Amino acid sequence: MTQEHDDLRLRAFIDTTLQRGDPKLPPEPRLAELIDVSRGRLRTLLKRLEEEGVIWRHVGKGTFVGPRILDPKSPDWFEGISLADIMDARRLLEPQLAANAAISARPADVAGLERCVAEMSSTSSYVQWKRLDERLHRLIAEATHNSLLLLLYDTLRNQGGTGLDQRLNAVFGNDSAPVETNRQHAAIVNAIKSGDPNAAEQEMREHLDQVRAKLFGLRYCIIP
């Protein structure tokens, strides 16, 4: 039989596997038997499907149908992700969190945000200010009352934690809290309190743009 014929049979088997709701293919020896091809021919077919994105393979775990799924619990899933990548992701996610918070926040959420902003404005310790800054951003995520969005925020923040904190400390870590950043935070919270999702989204995006520009230079000042 031709390789094209074998390829069609493998694809048909994959379709059947998906219909059963099982994304994992059998081990190669068993799969070769099921579609009646040699192990060498099977490897060639699987390599082509992997290049097309039809399947993905994990050494020691097997072959799976569909795009590769990132596992946040894996220590190597974020290899190659830079601090700039993390800030780019925050710029996409957090403005939407702020907008959602403006719609979903309850009086208790707003009160907590206002208390946090007030504490940030009154502290002269950068270490204390940094702790409150982290708390404010998470309070905004909590105010969405969407567990999945909160999980996305925590995953992003936790994976970028150490390196980003070191960069923030190098740029902002002096004896006084950043006054301009306090003003930006207050504007975000006021927009959330007013129930204005557009303003909350815009204020958060401008805030993160300014932080990113300070962290990584002028090339990040203007983002279309």
Q: Would you place residue 78 in the very low, low, confident or very high pLDDT band (cuts 50, 70, 90)?
A: low
- Mean pLDDT, the chain, rounded, equals 83
Domain boundaries, given as residue ranges, for the chain: 3-65, 83-220
Longest pairwise C-alpha distance within the chain: 78
* Percent of residues, the chain, with pLDDT higher than 90: 40
**Which pLDDT value is given to residue 51?**
85
Tens of pLDDT, residues 18-58: 776 767 888 999 999 989 899 999 999 999 888 888 888 87
Place of tokens 């707003």: 110
**Dist CA 30 CA 16 (whole Å):** 16
Specify which of 4-13, 67-76, 84-93, 182-191 reaches the highest per-range mean pLDDT: 182-191
Count of helices and strands (H, E) across the chain: 10, 2
Q: Tell me, what DSSP letter sits at residue 67?
A: S
Query: Is the pLDDT higher at 132 or at 223?
Result: 132
**Dist CA 170 CA 129 (whole Å):** 15
Whether residue 223 has pLDDT greater than 50: no
Q: Do the beta carbons of residue 90 and residue 208 sit within 8 Å?
A: yes
Residue 21 is inside which H or E element, if any? Answer: none
**Which pLDDT value is given to residue 74?**
59
180-184, 190-194, 196-200, 202-206: least confident range: 180-184
Mode of pairing for the β-strands spanning 62-65 and 55-58: antiparallel
**Dist CA 55 CA 17 (whole Å):** 12
For the 83-220 domain, the top CATH level (class) is: mainly alpha
The string of DSSP letters for 171-224 reads HH-SSS--HHHHHHHHHHHHHHHTT-HHHHHHHHHHHHHHHHHHHH-GGGS---
Tens of pLDDT, residues 86-130: 888 899 999 999 999 999 999 999 999 999 999 999 988 888 888
Q: Which of 88, 102, 89, 87 is nearest to 201 (CA)?
A: 102
**Which pLDDT value is given to residue 222?**
42
Tens of pLDDT, residues 125-172: 888 888 899 999 999 999 999 999 999 999 888 765 555 566 666 666
**Which pLDDT value is given to residue 184?**
95
Topology (CATH) of 3-65: Arc Repressor Mutant, subunit A (1.10.10)
